[in-house]
Amino acid sequence: MRKKLFDTTFGKLTVAYVFLGVIPLLLLSVLFFSRFTDSVRETMIRNYAQINGYFARNVGDIIESADDAMAELYEYETDLGESLAAVLKDTERSDGERALEVVNALNSVMSQSKHIASTRFVDFNGHIYSVYYNQEKTLRNDAEYYTQMSIIPKDRLRDLRVLGTTEESNICINTDDFIFVLVRNYMDTTSMNRAYNTALGTLFADINVDVLDDLVKKIGLEKGKLYICNPEESHYVYSQDRKDYLDGRNPLGKKVMAHLTDDEGYEKIDDNWIFYAKITGTEEYAVLALSDVEAMGYYFSNRTMMVVILLFSCIFLVLLYIIFSNRMTEPVRKVQEAMKQVENGQMDVRLEIDSHDEMEIIADGFNKMVERLNDYINQVYVARICQKDAELNALKMQIQPHYLYNTLDVIRMTALEENDETSAELLECLAHQLRYVMGEHTDCIVLQDELQALREYFVIMKVRYEDRIGLSIQVSDEDTQLYIPKLLLQPVVENAIRHGLREKDGEGTVAIRVERKEDFLEIVVMDDGVGMDEEQVRIMQESLDDPEIGKVDANGCLSVGMKNVYDRIKLNCGKEYGFRIESFLGVGTIVTYHLPVWEEPENVESSDRG
């Protein structure tokens, strides 16, 4: 029966290694990575939220600075102390005088904020005024979108509006800059009602995007991209990739735009982190977008290092386990190999184990056991083999004269009664019989030779009993080449003739049938003689089963030949083999042999003989 893995020393060491080494290490590693990941994620979210908040506040400061400067229009006064509203509503002024005052007011606005690159003003009569720091720039005649009063909805006349970034060449000539535009209506403040409902003009303040680029450089963002966008109008005030302005692309996408609802926050959308913060006083959002790999780059780099450390630790533990396991199991393997050698008959094996533990005690016990076993074999086993050989030889010597005497007696009686040439044939058969019985001394013989000896024996028996007996043999050609102990069938056949057929009136037959079963050979010897009752059969079987070699009971029911055959089978073939007797009065007797299947003579000598 095969041992289970857990029943071996190696299996137990493996279980101990897995449950006490590898699994705890993996659990600790998973716990560490889980906590480390949470910590890194929290730190990342906090840092990038602070960066985006800082960016939003600075952009808000820039817009607030420009918005405060745009409010300077309400503070402007002419040399006569008139407000800009009075100038715009004065119908007696010429266009040139009005333009001079509006330009002065625009210069005043630009002087209040360093972020404003140019301004434009459109009054309620449709007159357009513009002022540029760079005198080479000139307003385009087809820049209607950036020079109209209706650019701010009527329901939000007083609100500040931020237009998306565009090329400045769409507004003026002689420029290749990008700008975003702040738009406010200039309300009529001459009365409270008009201040809320009547606009005298619209002021446009252009801010160069380079101002935002300088802010981004100052932040020093290494990963991710910053944007300023309006989710309602889906335009961009700032993008680090200026192609977004030219192509009208939406780099953040509609899904991100839809999440920009609160004043600030963050979301993870499609493996990307989005941090957003609303710019104060506007509808614009500062957005920081970066991938999960970029956001967790510090974690991934540390995770790689931790994985390397973990793998190194596992390899180290495996090496320790192998070394420890080899040292623990080496004595066991030595004992196992020594036991196999002893099993193969090498009784001079000795174990040398110097481990100073239980295995050394086992080795000493094993050596003593082998020594004692060797002594036992020499004293007992060899002696029993010699005794067995002597018993076999004694049985042979006992059966051979017995057989010879009976045969000679038959020939003698026949010669006296017949007095003819039949004696010659009988003597020839006798010679063959003597040659077979007294010839080469061997424990086994081919079944074919044994059957041929029976046929020659029956030649003599037919003459003796005047052809009243016959012999029938059923055997395959293949089975005739099997080996059986010598002189195995003749004593039983002789017994069948003398005690079965001789007492019968009329003719009789001895039938022999040979059949190979799955794992044994069956030979059946049957006669149709007078038979025996149950009591005689029982006494004969008990005599056969008597452990004393060659013993025959005093009442003469069992012949010496049959007892010898039975004992020889036990000695040569094994205790599980032999034959059984069945008999019925007036019907006949059946003797069934149960023998091993011997296909080669060497199998006989190497077989287990009990």
Domain end among 348, 374, 400: 374
> Confidence band (pLDDT; 50, 70, 90) for 605?
very low
Strand order, beta sheet including 578-584? 469-474, 508-516, 521-527, 588-595, 578-584
Q: What is the CA radius of gyration of the chain?
A: 61
Give the pLDDT confidence score for residue 191 in this predicted structure: 80
Position 584 pLDDT exceeds 80:
yes
Identify the weakest region by mean pLDDT among 173-177, 276-280, 327-331.
327-331
Q: How many domains does the chain have?
A: 3
What does the pLDDT look like over 63-81, one tens digit per residue? 999 999 999 999 898 888 8
pLDDT exceeding 70 applies to what percent of the chain?
79
> Confidence band (pLDDT; 50, 70, 90) for 288?
very high
Cβ-based neighbour number of residue 337 at 10 Å:
12
Is 437 part of any domain?
Answer: yes
Angle between helices 297-343 and 23-70 (to 10 degrees): 170
CA distances from 514 to 456, 474, 479, 553, 565 (A): 19, 6, 8, 30, 18
Total count of residues recorded for the chain = 610
Q: For strands 508-516 and 469-474, give the pairing.
A: parallel
Average pLDDT of span 301-327 = 71
Q: Is 410 left (phi over 0), alpha (psi -120 to 50) or beta?
A: alpha
Q: For strands 521-527 and 116-123, give the pairing.
A: unpaired
What do you get for the CA distance between the two ends of the chain, in Å? 24
The pair of structure tokens assigned to 242 is 């200026």
Position 433 pLDDT exceeds 70:
no
> Confidence band (pLDDT; 50, 70, 90) for 607?
very low
- Asked whether the beta carbons of 177 and 147 are under 8 A apart, the reply is no
Distance CA 285, CA 269 (A): 17
Give the pLDDT confidence score for residue 476 in this predicted structure: 92
- Asked whether the beta carbons of 444 and 598 are under 8 A apart, the reply is yes
Is 335 part of any domain?
Answer: no
Distance CA 217, CA 432 (A): 124
Average pLDDT of span 28-37 = 68
Position 431 pLDDT exceeds 70:
no
* Domain co-membership, 278 together with 349: no
Position 482 pLDDT exceeds 50:
yes
Give the pLDDT confidence score for residue 298 in this predicted structure: 57
- Asked whether the beta carbons of 149 and 201 are under 8 A apart, the reply is yes
Identify the weakest region by mean pLDDT among 20-24, 162-166, 170-174, 540-544.
20-24
Query: Model-level pTM?
Result: 0.51
> Confidence band (pLDDT; 50, 70, 90) for 1?
very low
Angle between helices 447-464 and 422-438 (to 10 degrees): 150
Give the pLDDT confidence score for residue 588 in this predicted structure: 92
> Confidence band (pLDDT; 50, 70, 90) for 301?
low
* Domain co-membership, 114 together with 251: yes
Distance CA 405, CA 398 (A): 11
Across the chain, mean pLDDT equals: 81
Most confident of 18-32, 177-191, 291-305: 177-191
Domain end among 320, 351, 374: 374
The pair of structure tokens assigned to 174 is 């002689």
> Confidence band (pLDDT; 50, 70, 90) for 58?
very high
Most confident of 88-92, 183-187, 568-572: 183-187
Phi, psi dihedral angles at 52 (to 5 degrees): -65, -40
Average pLDDT of span 226-253 = 86
* Domain co-membership, 286 together with 365: no
SS3 202: strand
* Domain co-membership, 214 together with 236: yes
pLDDT exceeding 90 applies to what percent of the chain?
29
Domain end among 231, 260, 294: 294
Is 45 part of any domain?
Answer: no
Is 18 part of any domain?
Answer: no
Is 21 part of any domain?
Answer: no
Which one has a higher pLDDT value, 373 or 128? 128
Position 423 pLDDT exceeds 90:
no
Position 159 pLDDT exceeds 50:
yes
- Asked whether the beta carbons of 97 and 72 are under 8 A apart, the reply is no
Is 3 part of any domain?
Answer: no
* Domain co-membership, 89 together with 218: yes
Cβ-based neighbour number of residue 63 at 10 Å:
25
Give the pLDDT confidence score for residue 205 in this predicted structure: 95
Give the pLDDT confidence score for residue 511 in this predicted structure: 94
Cβ-based neighbour number of residue 568 at 10 Å:
24
Name the residue type at position 593: Y
What does the pLDDT look like over 346-384, one tens digit per residue? 777 777 777 667 777 787 887 888 778 777 777 666 556
Distance CA 44, CA 40 (A): 6
* Domain co-membership, 504 together with 591: yes
Domain residues for the domain of 74 are 58-294
The CATH number for 277's domain is 3.30.450.20
Give the pLDDT confidence score for residue 460 in this predicted structure: 83
* Domain co-membership, 364 together with 398: no
Paired with 589 in beta bridges are 527, 583
Phi, psi dihedral angles at 3 (to 5 degrees): -80, 145
SS3 341: helix
Give the pLDDT confidence score for residue 330 in this predicted structure: 74
